[in-house]
Structure 1
Amino acid sequence: MRRAFGLILLALGVFAVAGAVLLPTYVYPKLAKVPLDQDSTSLLEGTASQVLAVTDNGSGPVSAIRKDAKLTATAHVQANFAAPEMHQDTDYAVWLLAVQVTDDADNTVLSASKRQVCFDRRTGEGYEPRGESDPQCDAKSSFVTELKDKADKDGQKPPETNDYKAQPGLQFKFPFGTEQQDYKVYDDNTGAAVTAKYSGTETVDGIETYKFVQDIPDTKTATKDVPGSLVGSADPTVKADLYYRGVNTMWVEPVTGIEVKQQQQQHQELRTLTSSAVVFDGTLAFTAETVAKMADQVNANKGRLEFLSSTGPLWLGIGGGVLIIVAIVLLVRRPRPETPPQPRRKVLYTANT
C-alpha cells in the first residue's frame, strides 16, 4: 500500500515539475503575442498655443495660424487581414494606423496621417529588411501614406501615395515583460526609431507602470511649398523646410507591455533662409476614458501572463519538489518488521488445603 501511494505521489511530482518547466518555456511564448484581430480607437486631448489651419471657403485653400486652440486627436488601429503575414499561428501582425487631429472649436481637420506596419507580435518590433534570404515581412506590408500638397483639380482631395518602407523600433506597445531599460520606439513625425529612456516607476489608474521619455531633437522632416505670408515673405509661394522636435512620455505596464498612458509634446516650424514660423506648438495626452480602457486591458491579461511566466512555475516547482521528496521517503524507507505475537503463559492456581 505504501509503495503504491509513493508511486502516485512521485508521478504527480514529476508532472508538476514538468509543468513548471513547460509553462514559461513553451506555453507562455505561444500565448504572449498580440492578437491578430485588432480594431480599436484611442483619443488624445490637449491644447496648442499655435497651430496651422488650412480651410476652404469655396474660393480656394486659406492658411492661417490659430492661437490657444483646444485639440482632439483620434488614433484608429485596424488589422489588415489581406496582408500575406496574417495567417494562423503567424509571429507577425499587420496593422493600419490612421491619426486625425481636429480643432474642437469648429472640427477643422488640422492634420491627418496614415501608415501600415508589419511587426513582431511578441516584441512589438517593426519590420527591418534583412535581405531576401531572411524576410521578416513582405516588402509591401509596411508603408507610410504621403498626401500631396495640392489636388489635381480644384475641389478635390489631394491624392495619396504609399511610400513602402521599413518602420523600425517598437510599434503600438512595448514587449511582453518590459524591463527597466531604454528602448527604441518608432516616431511617426521623423520616421525613425528614437530612444525612449527609462525614468522610473509611477502608478497610473491604480496600475504600477514604467515611465519612458523619448526626447526627439530638432529634425528636418520635409520641404514644402507654402504661402509666403506664413513666413513673412511678399512672394505668393515660397519653399520652406519643416522642422520638428518633441518629447513623448509613455507609461507602460511591464507584464503586458501596454501603454496605459501617453503624452506628446510637439513643436513644428517652417524655416526659410531669412525667416521662420511656428505652425504647431502644443501637448496632447490620452483622455481619462482611454486610460481607463487601457487599464481594463491590463487587468484582463496581466494575471494570466504572470501565472504562465512566474507564479505558476514557482508554485508548481515547489509543490512538485515536495511531492517527489515525500514519494522518495515512502519508497526508500523500509517498513518496520512485525513483532511476532508472544505465547500466552499458563498460570496454574493451586488450591490451599
Structure 2
Amino acid sequence: MRAILARLALVLGVFALAASAVAIFWGHDAARRIPLNTDSYTRLTGTASGLLTKSEGTVPVTYITHTQVDPNASNGDVIAIQQTSCVATTTEYCIDAKGNFVLAATDDAVVNIGLNKFALDRNGSLAVKDQAKWIKDTSEVKPYEGVVIKFPFGVEKKSYPYWDGTLGKAVTATYAGTRTIDGLETYKFTVDIPATDAEIAEGTEGTYAATQTIYVDPTTGAFIDQSGTQTVALPDGTSVLDIDVTYTDATIKANVDQAKDNGRSLWLVDVVVRWGGLVLGIALIALAVFLLRRPKADATPAKRERVLTHA
C-alpha cells in the first residue's frame, strides 16, 4: 500500500510541477491576451444638437458600438478588429444583437455611422505601428497609435497616448485618481481636447473639441465606465454636432461583472497554478520519496522471534 501511495504522490507531484512551470513560463503572458473571440457591444445614452441631428434644439440620442475580431487576419501576437458605431435620435439602438444596422445611413434619425478597422498588440493592447500589414482594406488604414479600445493589462497610474479618430492622432489620457464601481476599484483617466482646427468630415474643415472621462479596470485594462462630449462646428461657427453621452447602467454592470470574472481567472493562473502548483508539487514529491525510503521497522524483530521459537 505504501508503494502505491508513493507512486501516486510522485505522479501528482510531477503533474503539479509541470502545471506550475507552464503557468510561470507561458501562462502568465498567454492569459494576458485580447481573446480572438472578442465580440462585444457598448451602449450609451445622452443628448445631442446641431446639424447632424436634423432637429431644432437638443434631443435624446442612443449610441452603440459593436467590436468584433477578424480571426482570419489575427495571430498569436496581433489582433485585427472591426468596430462599427451608430448614433441615432431613436430610443432603440441602430445596431441589433446580430451586429446589423437597423437604420439606413440616410435615415433622418441617424446622426452618425462609423466603421473603423485597426490592429492591436494582443499582449500590450496598444495599436501596432504597421496597420497596413493587418488591415487589408486600404481605405480603412489609419495611423492608429496608443489606446484604442482598452488600456494595457496591469494599468499604471500614469498618462497614456489615446487615439482620437477625428484628429487622426493620439492625444493624452491623464491619470486622475481612483473610483470604486460596484465593488471594483477602477483608475480614472481624463482626456481634454480644446477647440482645434480639424478636418471634421472628408474635405470639410472646421473646429473640434472633446472631453473623455474613462474608468478602467487596472488588472485587465478594460473600460468599465465612460462619458464624453464632442463639439464640432463649421468655420463660421455653425454647430454640426454637440453631443454628451455616457455608458448605460446595464453596460457598466456587464463590464464590472466581466472584469471581476477575468480578474479571478488571472489570479488563478498567477497565484494558484504558478505558486500553489509549485509548493504542492514539491510537497508531493517529498512525500513520495519519504514513503519509498521508509524502512520496515518490524521486520528484524519478527525474524528474530521466529528463530528463538524453533531453537
Alignment TM-score, normalising by the size of structure 1: 0.67
* CA 318–90 in structure 1, closer or farther in 2 if over 3 Å, else same: closer
Alignment of 1:267-286 (within 5 A): 267-271=231-235, 276-286=237-247
Are the equivalent residues in 1 in contact too, given 2:27–2:269 (CA < 8 A)?
yes
SS where residue 127 of structure 1 aligns? coil
Deviation at 1:304, TM superposition (A): 2.3
Alignment of 1:45-194 (within 5 A): 45-48=45-48, 50-53=49-52, 55=54, 66-80=56-70, 85-86=73-74, 89-104=75-90, 108-129=109-130, 138=133, 140-141=135-136, 162=139, 164-194=141-171
* CA 216–311 in structure 1, closer or farther in 2 if over 3 Å, else same: farther
Alignment of 1:171-320 (within 5 A): 171-222=148-199, 241-271=205-235, 276-320=237-281
Deviation at 1:246, TM superposition (A): 2.2
* CA 25–220 in structure 1, closer or farther in 2 if over 3 Å, else same: farther
Provide the C-alpha distance between the structure 2 equivalents of 1:91 and 1:240, rounded to a whole number of angstroms.
37
Deviation at 1:284, TM superposition (A): 0.9
- Partner amino acid, structure 1, of 2:84: A
* CA 75–330 in structure 1, closer or farther in 2 if over 3 Å, else same: same
* CA 139–26 in structure 1, closer or farther in 2 if over 3 Å, else same: closer
Provide the C-alpha distance between the structure 1 equivalents of 2:284 and 2:168, rounded to a whole number of angstroms.
56
* CA 217–141 in structure 1, closer or farther in 2 if over 3 Å, else same: farther
Deviation at 1:329, TM superposition (A): 5.3
Q: Could you list the per-position Cα deviations for residues 83-122 of structure 1 after superposition, in whole angstroms to 9, with x for gaps in the alignment?
A: x624xx5432222222222235996322332211122223
SS where residue 67 of structure 1 aligns? coil
Are the equivalent residues in 2 in contact too, given 1:127–1:142 (CA < 8 A)?
no
Pair member with larger Rg: 1
Unmatched 5+ stretches in structure 1:
56-63, 130-135, 144-161, 226-238, 345-353
Unmatched 5+ stretches in structure 2:
92-106
CA RMSD of superposed structures (Å): 3.6
Deviation at 1:285, TM superposition (A): 0.7
Are the equivalent residues in 1 in contact too, given 2:167–2:199 (CA < 8 A)?
no
Are the equivalent residues in 2 in contact too, given 1:255–1:306 (CA < 8 A)?
no
Identity percentage over the alignment? 28
Alignment TM-score, normalising by the size of structure 2: 0.75
- The structure carrying a bigger helix percent of its residues is 2
Are the equivalent residues in 2 in contact too, given 1:85–1:138 (CA < 8 A)?
no
Provide the C-alpha distance between the structure 2 equivalents of 1:308 and 1:254, rounded to a whole number of angstroms.
17
Provide the C-alpha distance between the structure 2 equivalents of 1:170 and 1:341, rounded to a whole number of angstroms.
82
Specify the alignment match of 1:35 in structure 2: 35
- The structure carrying a bigger strand percent of its residues is 1
* CA 269–171 in structure 1, closer or farther in 2 if over 3 Å, else same: same
Q: Could you list the per-position Cα deviations for residues 288-333 of structure 1 after superposition, in whole angstroms to 9, with x for gaps in the alignment?
A: 1222332343344332232112332132123223334445555677
Are the equivalent residues in 1 in contact too, given 2:118–2:141 (CA < 8 A)?
no
* CA 109–296 in structure 1, closer or farther in 2 if over 3 Å, else same: same
Are the equivalent residues in 1 in contact too, given 2:47–2:59 (CA < 8 A)?
yes
